[in-house]
Structures are given as C-alpha cells and as structure tokens.
Amino acid sequence: MKAQEIRKELRNLGSKERAKVSQSFFKTGPGEYGEGDVFLGVGAPEMRRLAKEFQDLPVREVRALLKSGIHEERAVALLILVRQYQRGDRKEQERVYELYMDHLRCINNWDLVDVSAEHVVGAFLKNKSKKPLYRLARSRNLWERRVSILATFHYIKGKEFSETLKIAEMLLSDEEDLIHKAVGWMLREVGKRDLATEERFLKEHYREMPRTMLRYAIERFPEPKRQRYLKGGV
C-alpha cells in the first residue's frame, strides 16, 4: 500500500465546484484561520471509505499524507490513524499517539481536530497524566488549544467530566471564536449526560464567558431558561 494510491483516488474523486465551496467554508483566504490550505473537493463519506480501505497503510506512508499540503490527504491520514489506534495493541496505540503529537502542526483546521483528537489523544491519556492536555490548552496555537478541549470528548462519553470542566475554565478568556464554539459544544455534551454538572459550571462562569461559548453551551435549554442565562438573570 502506498500513499500515492490514495492521492490518485482523491484526485479522481475531487470536484472543482466542491473545492471552491470548501476553500470558502474553511476560511482559506489571506489572514483567515485556514489561510493557504488547498482542497480537492472530496466529501467526508468518500474519505472515510478510503481510510477503511487503506487502514493498514504503513506508518511512513501515513506520515507522508499527514505532511501534505492537500487538506483531504491530511484528513484521510488522520482517519487512518484513528482506525489504527482503535485496532491496535498498546504498543501500536502509543506509536499512533506519538506520531499524532509530533505532527500537530499538520492538524490545522477544525475538522481535522474534530475527527481525531478524542479518538487518539483523549483515548491514549485516559488513565494517564493529563499534563499534555494542559500544555496544549496553554499553547499559542489555536489548533493545539482545540485539541485540548476536543480530546476530552472521550471522557465525556464515559461520563467523566472533570477534565472538560478544568480545560474549559482554562479557555474562558481565549480570544478565538473557534475555541469559544468548541468549549461551548463540550459543555453542552456534558449537559446532555449530567445537566446539573453543566449548570454548576455555568452559574459560576456564565457572566464571564464569551457570548458564543455561552450560546453553544445552552443551545438545548428550554427557551425561558436560555434567555435567563443570556440576560444575566440566573
């Protein structure tokens, strides 16, 4: 199996029209968060199919895709890493985690973080020190900070909320909208499983939270309660 085979498949599947839409949607213009990223215009179902077909791709070939300037090549590489992590033994899981952490600079848009962070970083650190997450939360790099909070989705799904709340608190003063959305989303996911835990956090912090973060966190609340939070009357 070769990375070149995946590159060929992606180019065959690509659509110029979809690529144009993606480059706008993922903010690739000058000064935007995805500046300079290149899209072929391949949909998520096709990329997931390729990841499954090439799930045994050798590590050197995965690395080559991960370092690509083509967005979909990096996406498929990450989807393959997720599959390799989930199918692997401890040694394989450690290899995948280390490869992921060594190439964080390549995981440079929100979709790339969102399909991978919980399944690799969150899963690997489940019964280990969470210091790597705190380090990422303090990073100057937007995507590393997003990895830190999205990794905790793995714990949320197991009804373990403490790390999510700790990192959410670290990111309360973050200036990036994409972090506000991610933190609010994770708080909402906490609330789906334990509303009392989410509300304890919100009641302590909602007045200082960025508006977008709060809106995402309370999105599923009944409208009267949602308005009380938005108007500061809780």
pLDDT of residue 232: 86
CA distances from 100 to 8, 55, 122, 163, 171 (A): 24, 16, 12, 20, 22
pLDDT of residue 87: 96
What separation, in Å, do the N-terminal and C-terminal C-alpha atoms of the chain show? 58
Asked if 133 and 152 count as a contact pair (C-beta separation under 8 A), the reply is yes
Per-residue pLDDT, averaged over 50-70, amounts to 96
Write down the mean pLDDT value for the chain.
96
Assigned token pair, 174: 């973050």
Assigned token pair, 128: 């280990």
How far apart, in whole angstroms, are the C-alpha atoms of residue 72 and residue 231?
Answer: 42
How far apart, in whole angstroms, are the C-alpha atoms of residue 66 and residue 150?
Answer: 19
Q: pLDDT at residue 1 above 80?
A: no
Confidence tier at 234 by pLDDT (50, 70, 90): confident
How far apart, in whole angstroms, are the C-alpha atoms of residue 28 and residue 64?
Answer: 22
Q: In the chain, which residue ranges form alpha helices assigned H by DSSP?
A: 3-13, 16-25, 44-53, 59-66, 71-87, 90-102, 110-114, 117, 123-124, 131-137, 142-151, 153-156, 162-170, 177-193, 195-205, 211-217, 223-230
Among residues 143, 105, 152, the alpha carbon closest in space to that of 124 is found at 152
Q: What is the pLDDT of residues 116-146, one digit of tens each?
A: 999 999 999 999 999 999 999 999 999 999 9
Q: pLDDT at residue 233 above 90?
A: no
How far apart, in whole angstroms, are the C-alpha atoms of residue 82 and residue 116?
Answer: 6
Confidence tier at 104 by pLDDT (50, 70, 90): very high
pTM of the model: 0.94
Helix (H, G, I), strand (E, B) or coil at 38: strand
> Where is pLDDT greater, at 231 or 198?
198
Ordered domains of the chain (ranges, CATH): 1-124 (1.20.1660), 128-234 (1.25.10.90)
